[in-house]
Amino acid sequence: MRRMNTKNSVNVAVAGAAGRMGQRLCTLIGETDGLELAEAFDRPDHQRIGTPAIPGSGVVIAEKPGGAADLLIDFTLPVALQANLDAAVEYGMAAVIGTTGLTEAHFGAIDKAAESVPVLWAPNFSLGMNVMFALAGQIAAKLGDDYDIEILEAHHRFKQDAPSGTALQIARSICQATGKSMQNDVDMTRVGEDPRKPGRITMQTLRMGDVVGEHTVYYAAQGERLQLGHIATTRDTFARGGLAAAKWLHGKPAGRYTMKDMLGME
Ligand code: NAD
C-alpha cells in the first residue's frame, strides 16, 4: 500500500542503502527539495539491516522494498537487478538504475520492466561525462582510423566490474559515431606478442586505492596525440545526477529513458 505523500514530494526507495553510493544517496535525498527518503533496503544478510539508513534517520534499512515509495534508485550489483525491477513493477515505482556490469540479459530485463514503469539506466550520472560521451564519438569520427584510440579508466580497489560501465559507454559512443562495432572492433586488453592493429579501439583498466573514477581517451597518430579526459573527485557527483534524474523521471509514462533524454542532448 502506497503511503500518502503529504509534502508533495517524491517518495524514494534506495536499494543498496548500506553501500558507498546508497549512503550518499540517502544523505543527499535529505538535502534535495522535492525528494523524500521513504524506504531503504539492502541484501537480507547485511549487518546494517534494521539500523537507521543514515544517522538520525527515521527510515531503517529493510530487507526489501515495501511499497511506500513512488520511485526506486538502484546502485547495487547486477545480481540484484531482477528483483529490484520486479519490485518496481509490482509497486508501480519509476526506476533510476546506476548499476554497472550488466549483460544483454539484464538490459532485456530493463526493457521488459520499462513496458510497465518509466526506467532510466545510465552507467554514469555526471553531466561532464555525458558531454564526454558525445565528444568522444565526434572526435573519433573527425580524426579517422589513422589515430589509434585507447580508452584508459581507473577506479578504486573495491570496484567489481571491469572495464567500467562508463568506459564501455565511451567505446559504444565511438563505435556509433564511426560505424564500428563493440563485438568486432574493440579489444579489452593487450598481452604477450600483440602489436596494435589499425582501426581498433583498446580498453585498459586500473584498479587502485580510493580512485572515484577517471577516464581518458587517447587519439594518437604519428607526431601528435589528442587526449580527452574526465575525473570524478566525489561520488556525490553521481548521486546528485541520479537524484536529478529521479526528479525528471517521476511522472513520465512507462518506457526506457536515457541521460540524453534528460539532458536534451542529440
Ligand atoms: P557497494 O558495494 O559499496 O554497494 C552496493 C550495495 O548493494 C551494498 O551495500 C550491497 O550489500 C548491496 N546489495 C547487494 N545485493 C543486493 C540485493 N540483492 N538487494 C539490495 N542490495 C544489495 O558499491 P557502490 O560503489 O555503491 O556501487 C554500486 C553500483 O553502482 C556499482 O555497480 C557501480 O559500478 C555503480 N556506480 C554507478 C555510477 C553511475 O553514475 N551510474 C556511479 C558510481 C557507481
198-220 confidence digits (pLDDT tens): 999 999 999 999 999 999 999 99
> Could you write out the DSSP letters of every residue in 160-191?
-SSS-HHHHHHHHHHHHHHT--HHHHEES---
Burial (0-12, 13-18, 19+ Cβ within 10 Å), 45: exposed
C-alpha neighbours within 13 Å on the C-beta side of residue 32:
24
The alpha carbon dihedral of 233, 249, 257, 159 has a sign of: positive
Ligand 1 atom nearest to 238, measured from its CA: 40
33-56 confidence digits (pLDDT tens): 999 999 999 999 999 999 999 999
Q: How confident is the model at residue 1 (pLDDT cuts 50, 70, 90)?
A: very low
- The neighbour count for residue 115, using CB atoms within 10 Å, is 11
Give residues with Cβ within 8 angstroms of 222, minimum separation 6.
Answer: none
Ligand 1 atom nearest to 165, measured from its CA: 34
- The neighbour count for residue 23, using CB atoms within 10 Å, is 19
103-152 confidence digits (pLDDT tens): 999 999 999 999 999 999 999 999 999 999 999 999 999 999 999 999 99
Q: CA-CA distance, 112 to 115, in Å (whole number)?
A: 5
Report pLDDT for 8.
Answer: 80
Q: Are strands 224-232 and 255-257 parallel, antiparallel or unpaired?
A: unpaired
Report pLDDT for 189.
Answer: 84
Which of 14, 20, 21 gets mutated to test ligand 1 (max ligand atoms within 8 A of its CB)?
21
Ligand 1 atom nearest to 100, measured from its CA: 32
Ligand 1 close to Cβ of residue 244 (< 6 A): no
16 CA to middle of ligand 1, Å?
Answer: 6
pLDDT at 76 over 60: yes
Ligand 1 close to Cβ of residue 252 (< 6 A): no
**Which one is predicted more confidently, 236 or 194?**
236
pLDDT at 3 over 90: no
| Average pLDDT score, the chain | 95
pLDDT at 266 over 80: no
